[in-house]
């Protein structure tokens, strides 16, 4: 800015000089008059320029003063440290310890949770590790590139989670990246150590990568040989590495023993079969947007305006889209305004708690891997916007809100999800809401308070339905048959968020008080649909 300003000023001076020369050279008054007027305008410009430059200089002087202040602090610290380094460091650590709660650092638990979430995303969305490490998701650049040390850290966390499959993959990526790094971010010996151990472990155990995946490792290539090979490489780097020396002896013993037994084949490939259940595969494909209901089912679905006989809604009816029929899943478009969403988010955020579930044996609240999100409850009275939204649910559904639960606001970060579940409580099950004496959760209204960049669909695995979050829209379905029995077909899930953040709010409507609004039906549901 200074550069531009000075250049302008110079130009201005030239103009001014030329003008004065002209004025002096001319004798006509009218011309002088015109020239003076111009000169006045010029003076204004000049004044504005001078003020700007003065402001700029003042700002620079403040910066210099700030820098000088820091340099003084550093000089003081440097002098203190050079007198007695040890005392200085000790004092620093005690001081830091005292204040560490004032800062927010990611804990080991955070790091661990991040590694689990990453494995979930890799698995669910079939992400390629190298592109991920390049900061790309599905060809879109989303983040900065990972260093070998970053990949190593993810691998280390995977190892701590007992996930040798991903440990191996991340350590291999770390090793690849290390080859290209000028300033090596991690020691190769550390990578090799984890690589060897995870290779060995992967061969000896059939492991659960997640609840649903059973990896079967075929011992075609001796995993022990591979682990030994990696350990030898490690020993080339650090011949005195105690653990490696121990492992080498151990692996050699196993190989010697197995050599005396007839080896089955000499095919040098590692085959890992992911043996997921059919249900799990269908769920994952649905989350990736690969499946839809059949054309026959889709052809019957309609869009319509709905006023439920309400005079106000005659003027501005709800825009309703059918996402599925029997069980009916409806999408209401534009039922939460941007300012309502902003209010609800702002009220919920300070109260957010990580979703926890009660342990049936101990009664303790525990964090669970199948539901990762933060949530808070809002009362109608807290804000007009909350009350308005709840009234809207009554208008949309025709059901009373008297016995409904408070509005639950939920936020999912990257990797946040909720595995397939029913919203109703099964008979005999003690869900938190069962104690209310208002009956079961007859229906759900799920508001979308954000779009989601990638992932994060609400899916119904039995129906092949995927609802993609659209800010301001809401989904509605009955969880119970009109007989009062749970409708098993309403099984649904929140797919992991791949990029972006997902905000929703749930309004769970209860049975009590709905008898005239949704009359009971003694006809039992068809047997295949009974829970
Ligand atoms: O977030 C979603 O898409 C679904 C949430 C849900 O099913 C629940 O909270 O019960
Ligand atoms: Fe749900």
444 CB neighbour count, 10 Å cutoff? 22
Q: What SS3 state is found at 27?
A: coil
Question: Ligand 1 test: best mutation among 409, 458, 490, 508, most atoms within 8 Å of CB?
Answer: 458
Q: Is 325 helix (H, G, I), strand (E, B) or coil?
A: coil
Q: What is the mean pLDDT of each run of 10 residues along the chain (531 residues)?
A: 50 62 52 60 82 91 88 85 84 77 77 88 91 90 90 93 89 95 94 93 53 33 80 95 95 80 43 65 95 96 92 92 96 98 97 82 82 95 98 96 96 94 79 77 97 96 97 97 92 95 97 86 59 41
pLDDT at residue 275 in the model: 57
Give the span between the Cα atoms of 282 and 291, in whole angstroms: 8
What are the residues facing 211 on neighbouring strands?
Answer: none
Ligand 1, atom 1, residue with closest C-alpha: 494
Q: How many CB atoms lie within 10 A of CB 232?
A: 14
Helix, strand or coil for residue 511?
A: coil
Strand partners, 408: 377, 506
Mapped onto helix, strand or coil, the DSSP state of residue 424 is coil
Whether the ω angle into residue 327 lies within 30 degrees of 0, i.e. cis, is yes
Give the pairing of strands 417-421 and 492-494.
Answer: antiparallel
Compute the distance between CA of residue 92 and CA of residue 117 in angstroms, rounded to an integer: 35
CB distance 236 to 177 below 8 Å: no
Q: Tell whether ipTM is more than 0.90.
A: yes
Q: pTM for the complete prediction?
A: 0.74
Give residues (CB < 6 A) around ligand 1: 410, 418, 423, 446, 458, 492, 494, 504, 506
In 3D, which of 225, 279, 233, 284 has the Cα closest to residue 251?
A: 225
Report the separation in Å between the CA atom of 192 and the middle of ligand 1, taken as the mean of its atom positions.
Answer: 42
Among 128, 133, 130, 155, residue whose Cα is nearest residue 144: 133
Question: Does residue 425 contact residue 435 with C-beta atoms inside 8 Å?
Answer: no
Burial of 486 (0-12, 13-18, 19+ CB in 10 A): buried
Ligand 1 centroid to 165 CA: how many Å? 30
What pLDDT is recorded for position 187? Answer: 95
Residue 70 is encoded by which pair of tokens? 């820091």
């Amino acid at each position: 800015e200074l550069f531009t300003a000075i250049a302008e000023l110079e130009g201005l001076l030239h103009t001014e000089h030329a003008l004065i020369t002209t004025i002096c050279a001319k004798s006509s008054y009218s011309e002088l008059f015109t020239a003076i007027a111009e000169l006045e305008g010029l003076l204004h410009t000049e004044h504005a320029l001078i003020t700007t430059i003065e402001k700029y200089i003042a700002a620079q002087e403040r910066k210099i003063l700030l820098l000088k202040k820091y340099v003084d602090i550093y000089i003081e610290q440097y002098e203190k440290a050079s007198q007695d380094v040890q005392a200085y460091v000790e004092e620093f650590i005690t001081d830091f310890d005292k204040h560490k709660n004032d800062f927010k650092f990611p804990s080991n638990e955070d790091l661990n949770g991040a590694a689990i979430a990453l494995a979930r995303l890799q698995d669910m969305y079939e992400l390629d590790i190298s592109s991920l490490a390049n900061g790309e998701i599905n060809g879109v650049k989303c983040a900065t590139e990972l260093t070998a040390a970053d990949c190593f850290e993810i691998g280390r966390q995977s190892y701590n989670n007992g996930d040798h499959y991903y440990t191996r993959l991340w350590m291999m990526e770390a090793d690849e990246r290390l080859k290209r790094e000028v300033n090596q971010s991690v020691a190769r010996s550390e990578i090799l150590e984890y690589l060897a151990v995870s290779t060995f472990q992967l061969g000896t155990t059939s492991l659960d990568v997640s609840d649903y995946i059973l990896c079967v490792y075929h011992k075609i290539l001796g995993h022990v040989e591979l682990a030994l090979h990696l350990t030898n490489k490690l020993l080339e780097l650090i011949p005195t590495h105690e653990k490696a020396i121990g492992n080498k002896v151990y692996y050699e013993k196993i190989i010697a023993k197995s050599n005396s037994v007839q080896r089955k084949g000499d095919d040098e490939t590692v085959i890992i079969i992911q043996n997921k259940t059919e249900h799990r595969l269908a769920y994952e494909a649905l989350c990736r947007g690969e499946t839809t209901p059949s054309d026959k089912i889709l052809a019957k679905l309609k869009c319509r305006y709905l006023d439920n006989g309400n005079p106000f809604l005659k003027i501005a009816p709800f825009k309703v889209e059918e996402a599925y029929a029997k069980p009916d899943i409806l999408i209401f478009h534009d039922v939460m305004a941007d300012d309502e969403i902003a209010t609800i988010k702002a009220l919920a955020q300070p109260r957010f708690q990580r979703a926890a579930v009660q342990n049936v044996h101990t009664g303790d609240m525990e964090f669970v891997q199948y539901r990762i999100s933060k949530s808070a409850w809002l009362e109608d009275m807290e804000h007009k916007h909350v009350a308005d939204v709840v009234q809207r649910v009554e208008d949309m559904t025709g059901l009373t809100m008297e016995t409904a639960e408070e509005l639950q606001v939920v936020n999912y970060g990257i990797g946040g999800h909720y595995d397939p579940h029913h919203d109703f409580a099964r008979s005999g099950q003690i869900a938190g809401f069962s104690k209310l004496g208002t009956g079961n959760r007859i229906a759900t209204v799920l508001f979308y308070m954000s779009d989601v960049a990638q992932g994060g669909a609400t899916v119904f695995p039995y129906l092949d339905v995927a609802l993609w979050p659209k800010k301001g829209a809401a989904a509605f379905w009955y969880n119970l048959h009109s007989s009062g029995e749970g409708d098993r077909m309403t099984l649904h899930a929140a797919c992991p968020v791949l990029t972006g953040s997902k905000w929703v709010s749930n309004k769970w409507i209860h049975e009590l008080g709905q008898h005239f609004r949704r009359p009971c039906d003694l006809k039992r549901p068809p047997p295949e649909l009974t829970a």
